[in-house]
Amino acid sequence: MSAIVTAGAAIAAALGLAGAAGVLHNRRSGTLRDTEHPQDLDTAGLGLSTSGPTIVHLTAVWCGPCAGVRRVIKQVCADLPQVTHVEIDMDANPAVARRLSVLSLPTTFIFDADGLQRYRSAGVPKAADLKAALQPLLT
């Protein structure tokens, strides 16, 4: 009987730990994080704008949440026409994903007019957060 109780307690502990990890992961999903402006980041061929900020969205055909990111970005770009949107298919361009250290989809970046990475988000960002991050970058 004690083996069953021990196994039940172990299962309950594992489920509790997994639940806590899931909550932490979901809290961070879609949050824009300020980056340290990596100077050695190779942005050649990304299609970044030199006249204003650029949102770069890495996606794939099989990625369900990527459609949500696309809708949010279209809404933001409609409100802020100075912002350029570049969408890159990770399956068609795996080298770009490696250069940008993308490990999960959807991943969204904001680059300034000088080509410096300013923000990064994994998950679906909120439109208000994107606008707030882009406003100071508009010239």
pTM above 0.85, yes or no: no
The topology under which CATH files domain 31-137 is Glutaredoxin (3.40.30)
* Percentage, residues of the chain above pLDDT 90: 66
**Whole-angstrom Cα distance, residue 127 to residue 24?**
21
Q: How far apart are CA 134 and CA 132, in angstroms?
A: 6
pLDDT, position 25: 47
Residue type, 117: Q
Q: Which residue has the higher pLDDT, 108 or 20?
A: 108
Q: Residue 28 pLDDT > 70, yes or no?
A: no
Q: What gap in Å lies between CA 68 and CA 106, rounded to an integer? A: 9
Q: What is the pLDDT of residue 9?
A: 72
pLDDT band, residue 94 (cuts 50/70/90)? very high
Mean predicted confidence (pLDDT) in 113-123: 93
What is the pLDDT averaged over residues 53-78?
96
